[in-house]
Amino acid sequence: MDMQKILLLFFLFEVGINAQSFPNWFLNQPTNKRCTVGIVQTSFYNDSCYKYAFEKAIEKAAMYYKLKINLKQSFIAAIDKKYWTFFHKKENYDTTLIGYYTDLCTKVDSFQNLKLTFMMISEEKQNFLKANLVNISQVTQPDWTENIPRDNTYYYSVGIAEEYYYLTSSWDAAENSAILELAKSKFIRINSILETESGNFLNTILEFQDEKTETELNNIQILSRWYDIKNKIYYVLARCDKN
């Protein structure tokens, strides 16, 4: 094997190892301070990557402070089965908070590999963390992926997503899934408008159900993340205030 091939194999090996390494604060986000993390695709323009990651983290800080979610779902229920026929989600938050958090928040730490750029921000006016890289292949499956925490203070949820071509889409989808599950957890315990109509098709009684719900999530926090390398599934643990 010539030197050129050896260097190529070494480069590919380093890329693979690097892509599986994440900052410890990304996998286990601090809960004692209001922190948010922005993730963007790494490009040739490093300054732009960090800038966009910071802006994305700021937007999340504003959104996660107070997020209103409108859900509309339609089902057809037949015998003992329910079929999901329609789903629509609309999110609203106070966009003026983006300017507020831009002035308030500062960078805590950042990390960049060949695929992703991470930026953590906080209301703290000092750096209180430094990234220790964790190889995700050495992290065992966390208990929360199968047993969602419960207490009297917060609603908890786990969001999952498959692997997409752009890894930012995978993490974003898992995070959005977790937030949707928070909304479901909350409105199931509060109220929802359920409209039902009955019909008959081929001697089978059908129920047509439309469910409309509006709920507000306060102080959303992302607690932990995990990537199942074997099955290529992304997991995110989130919570929000019950009050």
pLDDT in tens, 172-206: 999 999 999 998 887 654 444 444 555 554 445 56
When pLDDT is cut at 50, 70 and 90, the band that residue 124 belongs to is: confident
What is the C-alpha separation between 70 and 213, in angstroms, rounded? 6
Question: Taking the model in full, what pTM does it have?
Answer: 0.80
CA distance 119 to 37: 6
Please tell me the distance from the alpha carbon of residue 108 to that of residue 116, in angstroms, as a whole number: 17
Contacting residues for 110 by C-beta, under 8 A, at least 6 apart: 50, 53, 117, 118, 119, 120, 131
